[in-house]
A and B are shown apart, each in its own frame.
Chain A
Amino acid sequence: GDSVTQMEGPVTLSEEAFLTINCTYTATGYPSLFWYVQYPGEGLQLLLKATKADDKGSNKGFEATYRKETTSFHLEKGSVQVSDSAVYFCALSLEGAQKLVFGQGTRLTINP
């Protein structure tokens, strides 16, 4: 079945460090890929998306590139801030399907 695998957390970094959160997927078709972020006490917010191979999604300094050959969509940021502390979910959706398939989430903590 379709699935998303994220690197296990929690991840703890110092402010201004480089961030990578790995995400790989298994899908029967050609999915759209998403990163959502959930801040404490809030719902999920769309961070970025990519809908076809080699697309790069970017927002708020975060980037992720849709890699069909490695079935990956790794999230990166060059210099993290304390305010980036949150849980990050990688997700996919398939044409004709009505649901998002989520990874397990990665909790990120940034220390000053």
Chain B
Amino acid sequence: DTEVTQTPKHLVMGMTNKKSLKCEQHMGHRAMYWYKQKAKKPPELMFVYSYEKLSINESVPSRFSPECPNSSLLNLHLHALQPEDSALYLCASSQDRGVWNQPQHFGDGTRLSIL
């Protein structure tokens, strides 16, 4: 069983909709990550939160808006997405962003389709 829980598992939305992806972990990790994964490609980092503060934004378009309400939760708010944003969105967590030899733990992802 994965220790990082993502909801929903699947999401279909129109280009004018607003929706949110949710991620939760209860391992006491203080770093959380959003990745985007296209088919047959490795994950691409989008955002990193460390101690509930945004520490990395990989030049992600503003139609993606991350939020970290507390140390266990991470949200990704979506608005006015484009068809090319269809992908698997993965959340991950790790002990601390500075602990470079600790692995990241991934959720099973949300498969997003934009109509």
Contact = CB atoms under 8 A, between A and B. Distances in A.
Contacts, number: 56
A102 interface: yes
Nearest to A31: B100
Contact of A43 (B42, B56, B109): B109
A86 to B, nearest CB: 13
B64 to A, nearest CB: 17
Chain A contact patch, size range:
20 to 34
Interface in B32-53: 40-43, 45, 48, 50
A4 to B, nearest CB: 9
Contacts of A96: 98, 100
Which among B2, B101, B105 has the greatest number of chain A C-beta atoms within 10 A? B101
Interface of A: 32, 34, 36, 41-46, 49, 51, 89, 93-100, 102-105, 107
Given A43-B4, A98-B50, 6 more contacts: A42-B109, A43-B6, A43-B107, A44-B92, A103-B42, A105-B42
